[in-house]
Amino acid sequence: MSDKKTVAVADHYNAVVDDYHLNYDDDAHKTLPHYPANYFRLKMLKREVKKLGATSMYETGLGEGTPLAHMANMGLRVAGSDIAQNMVAAAKANFSRRGLDPDVVQIGNIDDPASYANQLEGGLFDAMMASGVLPHVADDQQALRNMRAIVRPGGSVFIEFRNKMFSLFTLNRFTKEFFLDELLPGVSAPIRDAVAQELDQRLATNLPPLRDKNEGGDGPGYDLIQANYHNPLELLEQFEKLGFSNMKIHWYHFHPAPPMLENAIGPAFREAAMQMEFDSSWRGMFLCSAGVVQAVRS
């Protein structure tokens, strides 16, 4: 919590707590200013947890607690933590309102296992989930090791990441960065410069605009906090090295066209995106801005 970027992450989430539950509302999610990606992620998580037959679930970065409350209502023993104190307060209120025990959620940082060690005293969990956490941690390996340690051997993790491959579909400055930083890092400077000049002609490198304010306009925007993208292929290799097996990726937040076309296409853009959710083909690797790695602690 002493790290400056981590404080900013908590500041961002502390300021978006009030409307966060609308992401999961069966009606309200349809008219949010942003795409209701979380709504589809929760549906997928519930489906997969049911398939597993897990009886307990830990959530790091539980936010205002609606996803974990859904798991509790499915009959799972649950516990969770978050670095943002407003989120934890909202999660406690959310649990109480639903007749669930508010004491199973507390302040805790996945980078600091001592901060949530008390919640593991009743035994390791069958499953754990981390949505919106891996993008924000300073050391991926350490965070993934800590997440792994929350589940019993044979238990499963569900870890969300922001998809770097999506950059190949966006045709904006992220595409240029992907070419130069990911595909061509070892190529000589003159060739890279020629590629950069060509991409400047062909791509909308002025897009997307920086989100320096949150939707309500009264807190730091998402682009001001550390929010890393991950290459899914590298991520799967990393999971294997850290002692996970049976990895699969569940893709969500589909795009029927590059995001810069959303205004021109209008409401049909979002309708088409929602229709595409739950496609389990390879296309998600390029059309989705996020995914969840499901893996077993071997």
Quick check: 294 binds ligand SAM (CB under 6 A)?
no
* Distance, first Cα to last Cα, the chain: 30
Total residues contacting ligand SAM by CB under 6 A comes to 21
Phi-psi region of 289 (alpha: psi -120 to 50; beta: other; left: phi over 0): alpha
Instruction: Quote the least distance from Cβ 36 to ligand SAM, whole Å.
Output: 11
Task: Tell me whether residue 161 or residue 269 sits nearer to ligand SAM (CB atom).
Answer: 161
Instruction: Quote the least distance from Cβ 200 to ligand SAM, whole Å.
Output: 33
Task: Tell me whether residue 56 or residue 131 sits nearer to ligand SAM (CB atom).
Answer: 131
Binding ligand SAM (rule: CB under 6 A), the pick from 29, 37, 49, 60 is 60
Binding ligand SAM (rule: CB under 6 A), the pick from 15, 54, 57, 62 is 62
Binding ligand SAM (rule: CB under 6 A), the pick from 44, 79, 100, 133 is 133
Quick check: 172 binds ligand SAM (CB under 6 A)?
no
Quick check: 78 binds ligand SAM (CB under 6 A)?
no
Quick check: 9 binds ligand SAM (CB under 6 A)?
yes
Rounded Cα distance between 100 and 88, Å, is 14
Rounded Cα distance between 76 and 37, Å, is 24
Binding ligand SAM (rule: CB under 6 A), the pick from 56, 58, 111, 169 is 111
Instruction: Quote the least distance from Cβ 201 to ligand SAM, whole Å.
Output: 36
CA distances from 39 to 27, 36, 42 (A): 11, 6, 5
Rounded Cα distance between 117 and 101, Å, is 19
Task: Tell me whether residue 86 or residue 175 sits nearer to ligand SAM (CB atom).
Answer: 86
Quick check: 86 binds ligand SAM (CB under 6 A)?
no
Q: Are strands 288-297 and 151-163 parallel, antiparallel or unpaired?
A: antiparallel
Q: Is the dihedral of CA 257, 262, 267, 271 positive or negative?
A: positive
| Residue ranges binding ligand SAM (CB under 6 A) | 9-10, 13, 38, 60-63, 67, 82-84, 87, 109-111, 131-133, 136-137
